[in-house]
Amino acid sequence: MTRERIHSFTGVFPLSAYLLLHVYETSSAASGRAAFIDGLHGRVLALEVLLVLLPLVVHALLGLSLWARPSSPPSSPDPAAALRPYQSAAFRTIQRVTGVVVLAFLILHLGHTLALGAAGLGPGAIYDRLRADLGTPLYLGTYVTGIAAMSVHLGTGLPAAVRRFGFAASDTAFLRARMIAGAVALIVFAVSINSLGHFAVGASFFGAAPGGTP
């Protein structure tokens, strides 16, 4: 398996799957403090390290190494070979730039949340601290930027991975994959921003679930 395929594999299966789960878990914030706390119970740190942090390190290192590599090998008879997983060179550049932004954001986000856990704070105290931190312009702006970059990276990367593994060889299939990935990315962005709104201003942007409490 080539570096490109390993990079795509780690991005799709462990990381994208966990991202969807994480977005679903944090969406409970729209229903209030009690719902968010309930969503944190039963999480296994060792399992998350194995299934998330290790693939994330591999994905990030491979992504950086692929960015450092020339876009098309000098010996390649087809200069467009490096562009095949993407719609155009612009989409490839977007994927690379958002990847770096996402990496920086995840380092901050993981450091932030792990520090709260290492401080011995319980789920309720973590919720209160997140509300306090995300209520500041700096944290809020950082999270909005990170969520936006992550959504774009997901929407651009999923169809590229599908094509890289040979499941969207035709232009029609590739277009369909891009449309589905774009829809998924928009949903991830909307749900994440909705949850973020609850932490930042005490009210979800699209409305809280019935019966929710601050």
- 48-89 pLDDT tens trace: 777 788 999 999 999 999 888 765 554 444 444 444 688 888
Predicted confidence band of residue 2 (pLDDT cuts 50, 70, 90): confident
pLDDT at 136 over 60: yes
Angle made by CA atoms 16, 182, 212, in degrees to the nearest 5 = 70
Q: With contact defined as beta carbons under 8 Å apart, do 156 and 94 qualify?
A: yes
Q: CA-to-CA distance for 94 and 156, rounded, in angstroms? A: 8
CB-based burial of residue 6 (10 Å sphere; 0-12 exposed, 13-18 middle, 19+ buried)? Answer: middle
The CATH number of the domain covering residues in 3-68+86-201: 1.20.1300.10
Token pair listed for 59: 């994905």
- Quick one: pLDDT at residue 188? 97
**Top mean-pLDDT range of 31-40, 74-83, 131-140:** 131-140
Comparing C-alpha atoms, which of 32, 19, 20, 204 is closest to residue 124?
32
Q: What is the pLDDT of residues 94-117, one digit of tens each?
A: 999 999 999 999 999 988 888 887
Q: CA-to-CA distance for 146 and 94, rounded, in angstroms? A: 14
- Cβ contacts of 102 within 8 Å, gap of 6 or more: 146, 149, 150, 153
- Quick one: pLDDT at residue 104? 97
pLDDT at 42 over 80: no
- Fill in the amino acid letter for 71: S
| Residue carrying the six token digits 């390290």 | 49
Domain ranges of the chain: 3-68+86-201
Predicted confidence band of residue 123 (pLDDT cuts 50, 70, 90): confident
- Quick one: pLDDT at residue 82? 45
Q: CA-to-CA distance for 86 and 174, rounded, in angstroms? A: 9
- Quick one: pLDDT at residue 210? 40
User: What are the E-state strand segments in the chain?
Assistant: none
More confident residue, 92 or 43: 92
Q: Mean pLDDT throughout 138-164?
A: 96
Query: pTM for the full model?
Result: 0.86
- Quick one: pLDDT at residue 84? 67
Q: Mean pLDDT throughout 24-47?
A: 80
Beta bridge partners of 32: 213
Token pair listed for 211: 């019966």
- Quick one: pLDDT at residue 32? 83
Q: Mean pLDDT throughout 150-179?
A: 94
